[in-house]
Amino acid sequence: MLLIGPFAQILPLTDMPIRGPLQSKHLRIIENGGILVAAGRVVDVGPFQELQALHPDSEVQFIDTPCVLLPGFIDCHTHICFAGHRSRDYAMRIEGQSYLDIARAGGGIWDTVTQTRAATETTLVQEVVARAQRHLQEGVTTIEVKSGYGLQAEGELKMLRAIRTANAQTPATLVSTCLAAHLLPKDFAGTPSAYLQWINTGLLPQIQQEGLSNRVDIFVEETAFSAAEALPFLQAASIAGFELTLHADQFTAGSAQLAVAVHARSADHLEASNDAAIQALGQSDTVAVVLPGASLGLGMPYAPARRLLQAGAILAIGSDWNPGSAPMGDLLVQAAVMSAAEKLSSAEVFAGLTIRAAQALGLENHGVLRYGHFADLQAYPCADYRDILYYQGKMKPVKVWKEGVQVV
Ligand code: NIG
Ligand code: FE
């Protein structure tokens, strides 16, 4: 057994209600804490000296500068499997063109589809591993990764296989999602509904057969798929055994309620959500995933995170890291900046980056420091947890552990 500590503070995040607003009292801070780890799992968390007295034979990793320990962050929404970049789109946007206009003119997602189709699986593996490494250095130990830049069998399967191979090559845990329903591909000869039907009958069985993913996502938007087209697609995917998640209400309201109606794990984006959507999410188990990185990348308003919490929603925060709308990929900076604008407390932000994000991915044993849960940990170089958001993400963890093994 390994005893790590002492830490100035440990935030185990074990006593946080899964939904609604949170305050500092929910953090249950342990001062001068230690954590006992065995076989990659947490055995105990408590005052360092007590743990040392109880387990005198355990090996000790001594922390000799003041640090605050948190569970590793979970980024529950990314598109980090891609080739190339889209700085030209970004330049066009800051010169005044909109994301949807650029998409209509043939740029946007389709540009990355072309570049990703042309990349080899090996290149994609390297890209994912490198981005996962950057995330690990920033304390993110579990990362959801979507396909969606292939949009035909070959490209989608290549992406999902690359994510699986990358998962074996990085210490981070990668959770894959099929986003073949990202856009109607220009080279598909048929209607949006016919394309979605092809995903249901032609692609998902193959994904299941190879065990590549058990999650399905769809972009419901004017430039992508309508709610009416999405409904039968999502129902069929669910019947086939896939968990559902939606890109909902990013520019146009209406699809968050669809996410709730089909019992999706999460409804993500929500920048355009109206009162009805906020109420629906507030009363459902569908996690409301907000993506401040997309607001920053597009220069658009944030999702109504405060109002979602007040309505009782399970609020998680993801990076949406992708080459188009959210190229920065720094989850903590994004969450901290949104927290200042939306008035999210430290407890709400940390829950949104850990236990509530685990809920969005249906992951058990992740996101809190409790007996039997994975020892995914990160230590910040400060004595007071409030410093973490105060520096707005500039302060990074000095040590990160994945399943009890130090990786940073
Ligand atoms: O979540 N909105 C749709 N999909 C992504 C963007 C992908 C891209 O622009 O490449 C998003 O923002
Ligand atoms: Fe996205």
306 with 401, same domain: the answer is no
Q: For residue 180, report the distance from its CA to the centre of ligand 1, in Å.
A: 12
192 with 294, same domain: the answer is yes
* Residues contacting ligand 1 via CB (< 6 Å): 79, 108-109, 112, 219, 247, 250, 294, 320, 322-326
Tell me, what's the pLDDT at 91?
A: 93
**Whole-number Å distance between alpha carbons of 114 and 123:** 15
Domain with 386, as residue range(s), is 2-72+367-406
Residue-wise pLDDT tens digits, 86-135: 999 999 999 999 988 898 877 899 999 999 999 999 999 999 999 999 99
Q: What region, left, alpha or beta, does residue 168 occupy, with left being phi > 0 and alpha being psi -120 to 50 degrees?
A: alpha
**Whole-number Å distance between alpha carbons of 250 and 235:** 22
63 with 157, same domain: the answer is no
165 with 68, same domain: the answer is no
Question: What is the pLDDT averaged over residues 370-376?
Answer: 98
Tell me, what's the pLDDT at 99?
A: 84
Of 308, 241, 234, whose CA–CA distance to 269 is shortest? Answer: 308
Provide, rounded to the nearest whole percent, the portion of the chain with pLDDT above 90. Answer: 97
**Whole-number Å distance between alpha carbons of 311 and 13:** 22
Ligand number nearest CA of 82 is: 1
| Minimum CA distance residue for ligand 1 atom 12 | 325
| Minimum CA distance residue for ligand 1 atom 1 | 320
Tell me, what's the pLDDT at 223?
A: 87
134 with 16, same domain: the answer is no
| Minimum CA distance residue for ligand 1 atom 3 | 219
What count of other Cβ atoms lies within 10 Å of the Cβ of residue 83?
19
**Distances in whole angstroms, Cα of residue 28 to Cα of each of 234, 313, 343:** 40, 22, 21
Q: In CATH, what number is assigned to the domain containing residue 174?
A: 3.20.20.140
Q: What is the mean pLDDT of the chain?
A: 97
Ligand number nearest CA of 293 is: 1
122 with 264, same domain: the answer is yes
Question: What is the pLDDT averaged over residues 36-48?
Answer: 98
pLDDT bracket for residue 7 (50, 70, 90) = very high
Q: For residue 250, report the distance from its CA to the centre of ligand 1, in Å.
A: 10
Q: In CATH, what number is assigned to the domain containing residue 385?
A: 2.30.40.10
Side chain identity, residue 309: L
349 with 207, same domain: the answer is yes
Tell me, what's the pLDDT at 128?
A: 99
Q: For residue 324, report the distance from its CA to the centre of ligand 1, in Å.
A: 6
Q: For residue 380, report the distance from its CA to the centre of ligand 1, in Å.
A: 31
Burial zone of 193 (CB within 10 Å; 0-12 exposed, 13-18 middle, 19+ buried): middle
**Distances in whole angstroms, Cα of residue 311 to Cα of each of 142, 275, 276, 278, 283:** 28, 10, 11, 7, 8
> Which atom from ligand 1 is nearest to the alpha carbon of 297?
12
Tell me, what's the pLDDT at 103?
A: 83
Tell me, what's the pLDDT at 330?
A: 98
| Minimum CA distance residue for ligand 1 atom 9 | 324
pLDDT bracket for residue 265 (50, 70, 90) = very high
Question: What is the pLDDT averaged over residues 179-190?
Answer: 97
> Which atom from ligand 1 is nearest to the alpha carbon of 294?
12
Residue-wise pLDDT tens digits, 297-343: 999 999 999 999 999 999 999 999 999 999 999 999 999 999 999 99
The tokens for 179 are: 């986003």
Residue-wise pLDDT tens digits, 211-232: 999 999 999 999 899 999 999 9
Tell me, what's the pLDDT at 358?
A: 98
Q: How many domains does the chain have?
A: 2
Ligand number nearest CA of 255 is: 1
Q: What is the pTM of this model?
A: 0.98
Q: How far is CA 282 from the centre of its chain?
A: 20
208 with 315, same domain: the answer is yes
All residues at 6 or more sequence positions from 303 whose CB lies less than 8 Å from its CB, including other chains: 249, 269, 270, 271, 273, 288, 290, 291, 292, 295
Question: What is the pLDDT averaged over residues 9-29?
Answer: 97
All residues at 6 or more sequence positions from 346 whose CB lies less than 8 Å from its CB, including other chains: 24, 27, 339, 385, 386, 388, 389
57 with 101, same domain: the answer is no
306 with 334, same domain: the answer is yes
Q: For residue 109, report the distance from its CA to the centre of ligand 1, in Å.
A: 7
9 with 145, same domain: the answer is no
> Which atom from ligand 1 is nearest to the alpha carbon of 109?
10
66 with 82, same domain: the answer is no
Out of 92, 177, 322, 328, give the residue to mutate to test ligand 1, the one with the largest number of ligand atoms within 8 Å of its CB: 322
Ion ligand 2: residues, CB within 5 A, are 320
Tell me, what's the pLDDT at 101?
A: 86
